[in-house]
Each structure stands twice: as C-alpha cells, then as structure tokens.
Chains A and B, each alone.
Chain A
Amino acid sequence: MAIRSEATGSLSDPMTPRIFVVERFRRELHDTFTLELTPGPGMAPIVYRPGQFNMLYAMGVGEAPISISGDPAQTGQLIHTIRSVGAVTEALGRLRSGDALGLRGPYGRPWPVEAAAGNDVLIIAGGIGLAPLRPAIYCLLAERHRYGRVALLYGARSPREILYRRQLERWRARFDIEVEVTVDRAAPEWRGSVGVVTTLLPRVQFDPDHTTVMICGPEVMMRHVARDLIQRGVAEEQIHLSMERNMKCAIGFCGHCQYGPKFICRDGPVFDFHSIGGLFGVREI
C-alpha cells in the first residue's frame, strides 16, 4: 500500500532510501559543512516546504535526520547543512563530489510561512539553528511584499562560528530585512554585538498582536526567547519552534522521538509554543 502524507513523504516503502549524489561539499565552520545533493539516476527531485527534514543515510554507517537548508524554489537542488556530532554525521562529512548517499523524505510539519502573510515576522536562530530557518527566509524574501517588518536575530558562540556569514551580510545589505547578529564571546577586535540572542529582542520593533515568530536553536535558548516574547505580548500560538529529538523512523512508528504526547517527526519538528510550552518544564521527557 502506498503511503502518501506530509509526515511520510511519498514513497511506496517509507523506510527505503532513494539514492542521491553529492554535487558539492562546502566547509562552513570547523565542525559544520554543507552538502548539495542531486537525485541519482532515475530519481525524481524532491519537493519540500521550509522546515522539513530528510533522513540522510551514510552508506553502511546509518541514518540521521537533517533539516533542509536550501531554497525550496530551487527544485532539483537539495541542500543540507550538517554539524558533525556523531558517527553518521562524521561519515556524511567525509563525502565529496560524486559520492552517493541514501535519502528518505521530506518529512515533518513546516514553518508557517503562508500563515504569516500580513504579519511582522521575527526569525530567531542560535548556532546551527539558522540552517532549518534559511528556507523560510528564502520564502519570505521571495514574496517580501506579503509581510510587514521582517527581522532576523542570530546568535552564535563566537565570530568564527557564525554560520552563512556572507549570506547574512548580503541579507543585511538589503533594505527590507533587519539582520542583528550577536556572539556569546569575542575579542575586542569584534565590532559587532556580544551577548546572548535574547538581548537582541529589545532592539527590534514589531507589533505583538500581528507578529509570527519562528525560532530554532538550543532548547534552553528557545525557552528563554519564547518567555521574553510572551512578556512582550506575542501570543503563544504565534511563536513557532523547531524541536530536535532522537528521530529514527521519521514517520511516527518507532517512538524514539516521543515528546510527551507528541512525536517530533510526525507532529513536528515545528510546533507552536502553545502546544508544547507546558512540556518544557517537564524534566523527565
């Protein structure tokens, strides 16, 4: 039986990976790299929405869930930015142009880019969390006239660990998106901001009653950012977070990514704060 849904993708067997080929490998940071992938022979390109993820299979090593970080409008080109944190991602980091990998997806609930039309939009990212948000930024900027103020607030550990630095500079050079970057620590030569990403919030203007927020980063960061936004009057339903847990099947069967009553892979990874905020305080999950 063919399974077709947003959660399961459109494979006849959702556990069978398709072959993709590495078109280009690019080193982003000392522990982070980007793979540009194209479908293998006879494979159709993947259509995805911002915020969705794929399961990438390093041959003979294993699978890891990786957010898609490219432009959804660029069909035929699939971009993943990956941080090396374990055996699978380290194996993916050894791939070079022409190498093959397995891919299942796309999976998961996307960012509410459509629903944000007419609102101010705040994009708040920390560390590698900018990667899953980048497709949403591409979509917002492609139809910039549909949104009010658009601001990107980004926090990184240090100036050397700012992801997509050139792209951030290009976005900042536009006149229709406010880009604020801060780092947790820096030498005096750094001329930008120092402090956690929450310190950027008072610097941007937005209408709390008509603002959609999309946040991705370490969970503790998202918790603090959400709390500050609620204090500024943003409704919990308008604060959207991308959650991360140990995903294995990616289609809500195995339960590895269970988060209270939710499965991150099937019900997320993007949730509004109203639906999961109560779980943040539960230490056992």
Chain B
Amino acid sequence: MKAERIESILATHPFFEGLAAEHLAVVADCATSVRFAAGEKIFHEGEEAQSFYLIRHGRVAIDTHAPQRGGLTVQTIGEGEILGWSWMTPPYRWRFDARAVDLVRAIALDGRCLREKCEADHDLGYELLKRLTLVIVRRLEATRLQLLDIYGHQV
C-alpha cells in the first residue's frame, strides 16, 4: 500500500484524529497494512512486542489461559480501537495472546521505529503518550468494572 494511502487511513482512525500532518507523515513511515484470517494468532504472550495495531475492520480477542480453566477471553477490541501497548515500555514483551475473532484488517505500526521517532521528536512522543494513556485509563476503568462482577451480585 502506498505511503500516502496509509497516511490518509491513519488520519481517519480515531486514535490519530487531529494529529498534526507532519506527525502523521512521520508515523506513516513506521506503518504497514496487515490482515489476519479468522482464528489466526496475532501475537503470543512472552513474544517480543514489535508492533501495535490500529484495527480497521473485524474483532480481536485478548486471550489468556489459567490452569484447570483453559482459555479465557478477557477483552475484545474492534474497529476504531488500538491493540497493544507493550511495545512502548520495557521489556517489550506481550503479556497476553491476541487472536483474530473474524477477518481483521489493521495498520501495524513498528514499535522500535516509533520509539526512535518519539525519541527524536518529543512533541510527537508526548502526543502519542497522551493518546495511549487515555486508552490505557479507559481500559483500566473497564477492567475495574469487570472485577466488580456487577451482574453476579447486583450493586
């Protein structure tokens, strides 16, 4: 896919909404278009976290497993959302598995490339960090609600 096309896709994805054009161009240098078939593993727990993904189509399950309980899906991520932030902080290893529930189309952003760009341009780094922090905060809030098990014991 051409760089200009990727740049325009990035510009319309909610995660990058409103990002300055010069920053979008820098981010686009680290981006490639990817596709995963239904059921395909996107990454495994423990592997090096090389990328993060802007989901454009389809749904991704974040899985883990527990002894005697088998596989567990802890969250699904859909169109317009992002997948993965382990690329951002050491030791750059995935903490969960990710699996395409159905056909998934996404933009993959190379984590190492992005880290280098962010080190070189702290304005870009701060902007990305703010956006990622918002995602992390919202998922933390959602996880806390999940932990309350609100439907099991109406509260």
If A196-B145, A199-B142, A224-B141 are given as contacts, then 8 extra A-B residue pairs at C-beta distance below 8 Å, sorted by A number, are: A128-B154, A184-B151, A188-B63, A188-B72, A191-B101, A198-B145, A203-B79, A221-B150
Which chain B positions have C-beta within 8 A of A218? 150-151, 154-155
Stretch at the interface among A57-65, A106-114, A155-163, A250-258: A155-163
Pick from A128, A187, A196: contact of B142, CB under 8 Å: A196
A277 at the B interface (CB under 8 A): no
Pick from B76, B148, B154: contact of A194, CB under 8 Å: B76
Known: A196-B145, A220-B145. A157 touches B152 (CB 8 A): yes
**A202 x B102 contact (CB < 8 A):** no
| Closest partner residue, chain B, to A191 (CB atom) | B101
- Seen from chain B, the residues whose Cβ lies within 8 Å of a Cβ on chain A are 14, 59, 61-63, 70-76, 78-81, 99, 101-102, 141-142, 145-146, 148-152, 154-155
| Closest partner residue, chain B, to A200 (CB atom) | B78
Known: A198-B145, A220-B145. A191 touches B102 (CB 8 A): yes
Which chain B positions have C-beta within 8 A of A194? 61-62, 73-76
**B151 x A188 contact (CB < 8 A):** no
A10 at the B interface (CB under 8 A): no
A190 at the B interface (CB under 8 A): yes
Listed A/B pairs (26) with beta-carbon separation below 8 Å: A127-B150, A155-B151, A156-B151, A161-B151, A184-B146, A184-B151, A185-B72, A185-B73, A185-B74, A185-B146, A187-B72, A188-B63, A188-B72, A190-B73, A191-B101, A194-B62, A194-B73, A198-B142, A202-B14, A203-B78, A218-B150, A218-B154, A218-B155, A220-B148, A220-B155, A244-B154
Which chain B positions have C-beta within 8 A of A155? 151
Total residues of chain A contacting the partner, CB 8 A:
32
| Complex interface bits, A175-205 against B, C-beta within 8 A gives 1, otherwise 0 | 0000000101111101111111011001100
| Closest partner residue, chain A, to B101 (CB atom) | A191
Which chain B positions have C-beta within 8 A of A185? 72-74, 146
**A126 x B151 contact (CB < 8 A):** yes
**B149 x A184 contact (CB < 8 A):** yes
Which chain A positions have C-beta within 8 A of B78? 193, 203
Q: B60 to nearest A CB, angstroms?
A: 11
| Closest partner residue, chain B, to A188 (CB atom) | B71
- Seen from chain A, the residues whose Cβ lies within 8 Å of a Cβ on chain B are 85, 126-128, 155-157, 161, 182, 184-188, 190-196, 198-199, 202-203, 217-221, 224, 244
Q: B32 to nearest A CB, angstroms?
A: 25
Pick from A191, A196, A203, A244: contact of B146, CB under 8 Å: A196
Query: 10 closest pairs, A vs B, by CB?
Result: A127-B151, A157-B151, A218-B150, A188-B71, A196-B145, A194-B76, A193-B76, A194-B73, A186-B73, A196-B142
| Closest partner residue, chain A, to B69 (CB atom) | A187
Which chain B positions have C-beta within 8 A of A203? 78-80
**A193 x B59 contact (CB < 8 A):** yes
**A187 x B155 contact (CB < 8 A):** no
**B146 x A195 contact (CB < 8 A):** yes
CA distance in complex: A249, B146 (Å): 35
| Closest partner residue, chain B, to A218 (CB atom) | B150
Known: A190-B73, A220-B155. A195 touches B142 (CB 8 A): yes
Which chain A positions have C-beta within 8 A of B145? 196, 198, 220-221, 224
CA distance in complex: A198, B141 (Å): 10
Q: A85 to nearest B CB, angstroms?
A: 8
**B155 x A157 contact (CB < 8 A):** no
Which chain B positions have C-beta within 8 A of A190? 73
CA distance in complex: A187, B101 (Å): 12
Which chain A positions have C-beta within 8 A of B70? 187
